[in-house]
Amino acid sequence: MGDKDSITSLVPSQTGDSANPRSLAALDASKLNVTLAKTLKPLQPIETLRFGQTFSDHMIVATYDPEIGWSAPEVKPHGPITLDPACSCFHYGGNVFEGMKAYLGPDGKARLFRPDMNMRRLERSCARLALPPIDGDVVLELVKCLVNIDRRWIPKESGYSLYLRPTVISTRPDLGVRASDYAMLYILASPSGPYFEVLRPIPLLAVSKNVRAWPGGTGGHKVAGNYSPGFLPQRTAAEKGYEQILWLFGDERRVTEAGAMNFFVVVKRDDGDGVDLITAPLDGTILPGVTRASCLALASDTEFYKESSMRLHPQEMVYTMSDLEKWSSEGKLLEALAIGTAVIVGPCNRIGYEDKDIVIPTGAGMGPVGTVLRKKILDIQEGRTEWKGWGVVCS
């Protein structure tokens, strides 16, 4: 996921007139001010939870000023924020965010899943949009503080979690077309259930007229501007009976991502030695997802192979819709999987392309590869098993 030192070394050149050698205040979790809500909100029954629609009692906010640096972060009751309508976040899209989850383990401890990867990605995203410098390690400490304060919002049931959204927005209060030397960090917490109905396959519509990302752009970063251009194609797909877009790129119709998720296919090998687990390479157009990296790591791990008795060959490679059609016609295309923080691992059952469907032979459920990957990741996330330090306790 990249080296932290190489990321932070980029930051001073990104901040313009805010990169002042005077001792600008760094973001400091030890200076956290806490203002608790006087009245706590009632918890919702888990069956009523919808992704991103319910929020916990508190949030964390900090601001960056080019004259003083970062303010002391503050825990405060969840609620509206006040911004000048000229702020650059509204006009030029200088906004980045992360998606994380906190789970309650059987030992009663709250855990995050590989949060260091989220923090390195947040730093890279901020640097890419020339936002003021931010220390992901400090953001992580603040995330843990919010989880511990609002831990009553973490559902106990398997598959449910407290979704966390650290966000950095550009807040320079003028219409000048240049990098913002003002910023705001805020962290929200939202109890959430499964992103889709558990194990219900989703149909995809392959689209090449519109693209999610392009070489030299921001597809490899978690920036707000990557998402809204996909809403119209998504609506069109829904009108045709599909739930998500399978984004294609280039004249050769390269397969990239599914909606806002990474995309994998499981293909039978000619040599009979298990199956290939194939996904597009990180060429700058693909988001380096935490769950994506975890699935690839598990697939190549001999210990996981012994545990699952499933021979997987992870492949990061360019492949096209012609490849998918060929594998399907030869009976080699076994599974198609949407992968991401919200969905974890979800099955896809058909791919619409040029007025016909490529049918994935997993039927109405999840195939064996998706099943073992999802179970292992959930076991780690929910604290039922320890695996290479991936589960981090919020202490």
Distance CA 28, CA 77 (A): 20
Which whole-number Å values give the CA distances from 202 to 197, 225, 265, 386, in the listed order?
9, 25, 14, 31
Q: For 109-130, what is the mean pLDDT? A: 98
The tens digit of pLDDT for each residue in 345-368 reads 999 999 999 999 999 998 888 999
Q: What local confidence, expressed as pLDDT, does residue 4 receive?
A: 42
Residue 18 has pLDDT above 60, yes or no: no
* Ordered alpha helix ranges (H), 331-381: 368-381
**Sequence-distant (≥ 6) Cβ neighbours of residue 363 within 8 angstroms:** 201, 349
Q: Which residue has the tokens 């545990």?
A: 307
Q: What is the DSSP string of 223-265?
A: BGGGTGGGHHHHHHHHHTT-SEEEEEETTTTEEEEETTEEEEE
Which whole-number Å values give the CA distances from 70 to 18, 76, 184, 301, 337, in the listed order?
11, 17, 9, 42, 41
Q: For 47-53, what is the mean pLDDT? A: 91
Q: What local confidence, expressed as pLDDT, does residue 118 receive?
A: 98
Residue 324 has pLDDT above 60, yes or no: yes
- For 182-214, b/e burial (b = at least 16 CB within 10 A) is bbbbbbbbbbbbbbbeebebbbbbbbbeebbbe
Distance CA 234, CA 238 (A): 6
Q: For 128-135, what is the mean pLDDT? A: 97
Residue 122 has pLDDT above 50, yes or no: yes
Q: Which residue has the tokens 């380096």?
A: 288
Question: Are the beta carbons of 101 and 183 closer than 8 angstroms?
Answer: no
Residue 16 has pLDDT above 80, yes or no: no
The tens digit of pLDDT for each residue in 292-304 reads 999 999 999 999 9
More confident residue, 12 or 67: 67
Distance CA 140, CA 136 (A): 6
Q: What local confidence, expressed as pLDDT, does residue 197 receive?
A: 62
Two tokens, residue 186: 């805020």
Residue 269: what are its φ and ψ, rounded to 5°? -85, 150
Q: What local confidence, expressed as pLDDT, does residue 20 receive?
A: 44
> Helix (H, G, I), strand (E, B), or coil: what is residue 266?
strand
Two tokens, residue 190: 């939202």
**Sequence-distant (≥ 6) Cβ neighbours of residue 12 within 8 angstroms:** 19, 133
Question: Are the beta carbons of 286 and 256 closer than 8 angstroms?
Answer: yes
Q: What local confidence, expressed as pLDDT, does residue 196 receive?
A: 67
Question: Are the beta carbons of 170 and 89 closer than 8 angstroms?
Answer: yes
User: How much is the mean pLDDT over the chain?
Assistant: 93
Q: 178 falls in which pLDDT band (50, 70, 90)?
A: very high
- Strand-strand pairing, 356-359 and 344-353: antiparallel
Report the share of the chain in percent with pLDDT over 70. 93
Which whole-number Å values give the CA distances from 260 to 75, 224, 298, 307, in the listed order?
30, 11, 22, 31
- Which has the closest alpha carbon to 313: 361, 364, 275, 263? 275
Which whole-number Å values give the CA distances from 84 to 62, 90, 95, 156, in the listed order?
16, 9, 15, 40
The tens digit of pLDDT for each residue in 238-289 reads 999 999 999 999 999 999 999 999 999 999 999 999 999 999 999 999 999 9
The tens digit of pLDDT for each residue in 29-44 reads 999 999 999 999 999 9
Positive/negative CA dihedral, 288, 293, 296, 300: positive
Q: What local confidence, expressed as pLDDT, does residue 194 receive?
A: 78
Which whole-number Å values give the CA distances from 242 to 233, 248, 351, in the listed order?
11, 16, 9
Question: Are the beta carbons of 108 and 393 closer than 8 angstroms?
Answer: no
Q: What local confidence, expressed as pLDDT, does residue 3 receive?
A: 44
Length of the chain: 395
Residue 6 has pLDDT above 80, yes or no: no
Q: 5 falls in which pLDDT band (50, 70, 90)?
A: very low
Residue 1 has pLDDT above 60, yes or no: no
Range name among 67-81, 126-140, 323-337, 362-376 with the lowest pLDDT average: 362-376
Residue 210 has pLDDT above 80, yes or no: yes
- Which has the closest alpha carbon to 300: 324, 280, 270, 274? 274
Amino acid residing at 23? S
Helix (H) or strand (E) holding 34: strand 33-34
Q: What local confidence, expressed as pLDDT, does residue 125 receive?
A: 98
Two tokens, residue 214: 């392009």
Question: Are the beta carbons of 186 and 60 closer than 8 angstroms?
Answer: yes
Residue 325 has pLDDT above 80, yes or no: yes
Q: 15 falls in which pLDDT band (50, 70, 90)?
A: very low
Q: What local confidence, expressed as pLDDT, does residue 57 receive?
A: 98
Report the share of the chain in percent with pLDDT over 90. 89
